[in-house]
Amino acid sequence: MTIICGTNRAESNTFRVLEFCVKAAADQGIDATVLNLEDIPENLFFEGRYGSPVESFTQILDKKIVPASHILFVVLEYNGSYPGILKLFIDIAPPALWAGKKAALLGVATGRSGNQRGLDHLMMVLHYLNMEVYSQKPLLSSIHHHISEDGDMRNEEYQSLIENQIRGFRKF
């Protein structure tokens, strides 16, 4: 399973949630590969072409996306949707790369909706790319109150939601 941090923002709560997801997956015997969008090449926007990415980006795809049958997207709310950097990442990767893979979505927000609208937008894009999207989509609202700077998830309900999502997604 590959787990994607849906932002390139440094020291984000989204990455802290991702770290909890990795720990929850490990507790269930699942080896998770992390893709932090902070790691994508800075020149991607200027040099990458849709469907024809730069070599350093292709290496990331070959290592983190190609071998994955299951991809968990941890996605924060950004301007009522999901971050443009995630859209760019998906768009520049060859479309056939996504086809047939399974996706799970986990919404993160400082507001009340837990990024429900953003997950709906992302789900439409993933369906267009012929990915199957798992039905359980936890929405973690007011995340800044529920996770510490060291990634300690302090909300037991959120812990349970994530653990159950990963358990079910594994079988999906």
pLDDT tens, 117-131? Answer: 999 999 999 999 999
What's the pLDDT at 40?
A: 86
pLDDT tens figures, 83-101: 999 998 998 888 999 999 9
Contact status, residue 163 vs residue 102, Cβ threshold 8 Å: no
pLDDT at position 52 is 64
pLDDT digits (tens, 9 = 90+) for 46-87: 666 665 667 888 899 999 999 999 999 999 999 999 999 999
Domains of the chain in start order, with CATH, are: 2-171 (3.40.50.360)
- Per-residue pLDDT at 31: 95
- pTM (two decimals): 0.94
For position 85, what pLDDT does the model report? Answer: 93
CA pseudo-torsion sign 66, 69, 75, 78: positive
Residue 32 has a CB neighbour count (10 Å cut-off) of 19
Distance between CA atoms of 10 and 132, rounded to whole angstroms? Answer: 30
